[in-house]
Amino acid sequence: MRVVLTGGGTGGHIYPALAVGRELKRRYDGCELMYIGTRKGLESSIVPQHGVPFEHIDITGFRRSLSWENVRTVIRFWQGVRRSKELLRKFKPDAVVGTGGYVCGPVVYAASRLGIPTLIHEQNVVPGLTNKFLSRFVDAVAVSFRESLPFFSNCPDVEHAGNPCASAVVGADRSRGFSSLGLAPDTPFVLAVGGSRGAKALNEAVIQIVPMMNDLPDVHLVFVTGERFHEETLTRINRLPSAPEGRVHLLPYVHNMPEVLAAASLVVSRAGASSVAEITSLGVPSILVPSPNVTNNHQEPNARSLADAGAAVMMLERELTGDSLFGHVADIMKDSVRRDSMALAARKMGMPDAAAAIGEQLDRIMSKRQRK
């Protein structure tokens, strides 16, 4: 069994592909993987760290306005298709799996032209341009959100599988989450995190709620600032005259996020696809603040999906202040019945077997091709 994985630009495309790769290696003894990405994307550093052979093509994304750069992008696309065909003919994969980002466009398209079984995975509620384009050529589409299904009605095999990143957090050890933070087991705490790099607007609101945490005397605040904001945030919080002593834990980054997330009573977070997948898989109540600075505003529909299900509260960034954020935090943390209800709603949305579901879907399309 030989499979090519492709997808890149952000971790939201890369980590689902790697999760699918781990599942395929579990399913098939001797399964060989190859990852095709770009040299400039995060995948060029992340993928080799996971022991997966990496090859590159040169491609850029389309701009959403008329531009001569889009003409050059079309030229690069066809050059990328030629380069992808060379790599595919050499590796001879049984299937190609794409997880979005402009790099997977020429790779998956080339595979479809060569008659190789192809599957794409869409992480967000509203599909990206690349996956919309590829859906006309692939054998199968897997989606993270049920709301995405109508976007792919032109594909013969579409499945609501969930996000494979959810599979990676199954069984996260809550006790290790508490101990890694130096907290006693079952200590109630709010986890505020804006992603691996942090989020300035979210950080600003969380700084403002630090003195307000005195109104929640038994609740701790675990504040993951992001490396680039950590020193400034630490300085500002140390200057606050009324910060609750011993109950604010400021961290630049968390390396065991699934364990910490599993231990949290409530998470305040952006609404990236991978974050949402982990939150629902672990069944954690959340306050989601979708970033307005992402392509196609895709985080807002992600957050709205959880809010509509009763699993989260959605706050738009333009509505975000310290007072408004703390109002939601206090309401949820003072109401254990509501927290339990939100947790149950989140778990009902979670799909911890997503990687296995995608593996089964891949089996199906390969068997169908063999019968032909």
Question: Per the annotation, does 10 bind a ligand?
Answer: yes
Question: Per the annotation, does 196 bind a ligand?
Answer: yes
Work out the burial of residue 149: count CB atoms within 10 Å of its CB; fewer than 13 is exposed, 13-18 middle, 19 or more buried: middle
User: Structure tokens of 92?
Assistant: 């001879």
Report how far residue 291's alpha carbon sits from residue 7's, in angstroms, rounded to the nearest whole number.
Answer: 21
**Residue matched to tokens 């032909």:** 372
CB neighbour list of residue 321: distance below 8 Å, 6 or more residues apart? 205, 208
Report how far residue 88's alpha carbon sits from residue 96's, in angstroms, rounded to the nearest whole number.
Answer: 9
Report how far residue 326's alpha carbon sits from residue 314's, in angstroms, rounded to the nearest whole number.
Answer: 13
C-beta of residue 234 within 8 angstroms of C-beta of residue 348: no
CB neighbour list of residue 355: distance below 8 Å, 6 or more residues apart? 19, 20, 22, 23, 164, 167, 168
C-beta of residue 337 within 8 angstroms of C-beta of residue 224: no
The answer to whether the Cα torsion of 50, 164, 169, 148 is positive or negative is: positive
Report how far residue 355's alpha carbon sits from residue 161's, in angstroms, rounded to the nearest whole number.
Answer: 8
Query: CA angle, 171 as apex, 170 and 174 as ends, to 5°?
Result: 120
**Residue matched to tokens 């499979």:** 3
**Residue matched to tokens 């970033």:** 291
Question: Per the annotation, does 128 bind a ligand?
Answer: no
Report how far residue 228's alpha carbon sits from residue 195's, in angstroms, rounded to the nearest whole number.
Answer: 12
Extract the runs of DSSP E, i.e. beta strands, from the chain: 2-6, 32-37, 54-56, 95-98, 118-122, 140-143, 158-160, 189-193, 220-224, 248-251, 266-269, 286-288, 312-314
DSSP, res 218? T
Q: Buried b / exposed e across 85-102, counting CB within 10 Å, b at 16+?
A: bebbeebebbbbbbbbbb
Question: Per the annotation, does 11 bind a ligand?
Answer: yes
* Binding-site residues: 10-12, 124, 196, 299
* Binding-site residues for UDP-N-acetyl-alpha-D-glucosamine: 10-12, 124, 196, 299
